[in-house]
Amino acid sequence: GAGVSQSPSNKVTEKGKDVELRCDPISGHTALYWYRQSLGQGLEFLIYFQGNSAPDKSGLPSDRFSAERTGGSVSTLTIQRTQQEDSAVYLCASSFGLYNEQFFGPGTRLTVL
């Protein structure tokens, strides 16, 4: 049974470039979440998807951030025109239903130079 996987594990980019981060949830999990974790900090909720419902985007920090989930499985988090303050670890999690325990991927460490 594979867990949540994320790619790339590390991404270094230049300020102003766009980046895409990928998340493969656990098979059969209907809910998928994105979080951001700055160095030594807690988890900052960004967005979640549940089934075919419209995603809850209430945590996205700016309109440079967007996410999509294709076919109810894989999700991509896109950050446009990256800024240095976007540097963080981006964590993805999935759960079987919205109100159940979440299982996390290993994260993508993004560094914006």
Partner 1 sequence: GQQLNQSPQSMFIQEGEDVSMNCTSSSIFNTWLWYKQDPGEGPVLLIALYKAGELTSNGRLTAQFGITRKDSFLNISASIPSDVGIYFCAGLSSGNTPLVFGKGTRLSVIA
In the chain, count H helices and then E strands.
0, 10
Residues within window 67-96 making contact with partner 1, judged by CB under 8 A: 91, 93, 95
Question: Could you tell me the smallest distance in angstroms from the CB atom of residue 81 to partner 1?
Answer: 27
Q: How far is CA 35 from CA 1, 22, 48, 104, in A?
A: 23, 13, 9, 10
Regarding 103 and contact with partner 1 (CB under 8 A), the answer is yes
DSSP 26-49: PTT--EEEEEEE-TT---EEEEEE
Site string for partner 1, 30-59 (x = CB under 8 A): -x-x------xxxx-x--x-----------
Regarding 105 and contact with partner 1 (CB under 8 A), the answer is yes
Q: Would you say 35 and 90 are in contact if contact means Cβ atoms under 8 Å apart?
A: yes
Distance separating alpha carbons of residues 42 and 78, to the nearest angstrom = 21
Residue 65 or 90: the one with the smaller Cβ distance to partner 1 is: 90
Residue 13 or 103: the one with the smaller Cβ distance to partner 1 is: 103
Give the footprint of partner 1 on this chain (CB under 8 A): 4, 31, 33, 40-43, 45, 48, 91, 93, 95, 98-107, 109
